Amino acid sequence: MDVIRITKRDALPRKREILITILAVVLSIVFAGIILLIFGLNPLQIFQEIIMGSVGTGLRIKQTIIKAIPLIIASMGIIVAFKMKFWNIGAEGQITMGALGASWVALNMGDGVPKPLMLLLMFVAAAVCGGIWAFIPAIFKAKMGTNETIFTLMMNYVAIKFVTYLQYGPWMDPAANGFPRIATFSDNAVLPSIGGVHIGWMIAIVLTAFVYFLINYTKTGYEIAVVGESLDTARYAGMNISKVIVIAMLISGGLCGVVGMIQASAIEKTLVAGIANNYGFTAIITAWLAKLNPASTLVVCVVFAMLIQGGEYIQIALGVPSAVSDVVQGLILFFVLGSEFFMRYKIHFGKPSEKEVA
């Protein structure tokens, strides 16, 4: 009787892994084209318009960069947690709480505060609030061994509903004539722009360098990696696992919180319940596709920002649902994760040989 067996594969050369990943992306695009054909759409036209809609003009390039900024920073936060195999699915909530912290500073400090000081205080408040929101599931995981995936996921909705309550209640702008919105920030609480793009792109580059240095050249980064690889090894080395978990999640949540500050200050110029805009969930995909490598994540985030911007463009220009770009994103994830499986394991058909049994 034929059987299917799965065995662990020896480590593949780096070049071969890259080639397999590229092949997976190409196959995902081919299959996305087939799906588009089934729905009666011209895949070549759709893909061309997605590219033109994201980089076809200077304005579109700027919009793509603006969408890449929160994706890059949130991905950096995800990388820190995932390196430790702490499955932080709570970036949406951490972004939202970071925006709340920054908004509190912007709305209460007044327009008399110098702009650099105001933005610095907003940055710190956002990082602290995002870090605290990540600290809660971290301490439960460290002390009680709770499931961090469910815990962080549920905290997303708590954060969003809390901001919704503020938007419809205590923080509602009296000058809005009953419309449920929070007051607009004063000019000193708005990030400045360079060449039509807010300086969040500079923050994104700096934080990418910070995460790269943290993971590769610091004791904390080494401990995070060891805890992620093996808890037994970490214990044997005398590491305080609970402390490592908490520190890593404070950093992870703090980075995600900064995204909230940037979106509130530079994009919305106020606080809204949907300020995370699914960037926290998309960052999970980009970080994973980049194999938790900060430098590679920059490239992947730009590509996904192109898909997001291009999806919005085809919705307007061609009347095609923007969900088309979501289909492409989903297929890329599916095929790349599938390639990960085949890079790590072999599939055998038939009975095991005598050598395998031995």
What per-residue confidence (pLDDT) applies to 351? 65
pLDDT exceeds 80 at position 2: no
Per-residue model confidence as pLDDT tens digits over 196-252: 899 999 999 999 999 999 999 999 999 999 999 999 999 999 999 999 999 999 999
Run of H or E including 178:
none
What per-residue confidence (pLDDT) applies to 66? 97
What per-residue confidence (pLDDT) applies to 278? 92
Average pLDDT over residues 108-131: 95
What per-residue confidence (pLDDT) applies to 1? 44
How far is Cα of residue 50 from the mean position of the Cα atoms in its chain? 21
Domain positions in the chain? 1-30+331-358, 42-319
Distance CA 86, CA 77 (A): 12
pLDDT exceeds 80 at position 11: no
The yes or no reply on domain 42-319 and CATH 1.10.10 is no
Structural tokens at position 339: 């390639």
Per-residue model confidence as pLDDT tens digits over 150-208: 999 999 999 999 999 999 999 999 888 888 999 999 999 999 999 889 999 999 999 99
What per-residue confidence (pLDDT) applies to 356? 52
Largest interatomic CA distance in the chain: 81
Per-residue model confidence as pLDDT tens digits over 259-275: 999 999 999 999 999 99
Distance CA 96, CA 30 (A): 36
What per-residue confidence (pLDDT) applies to 317? 81
Average pLDDT over residues 281-289: 91
What per-residue confidence (pLDDT) applies to 350? 65
Distance CA 202, CA 204 (A): 5
The 3-state DSSP class for residue 338 equals helix
Distance CA 209, CA 313 (A): 32
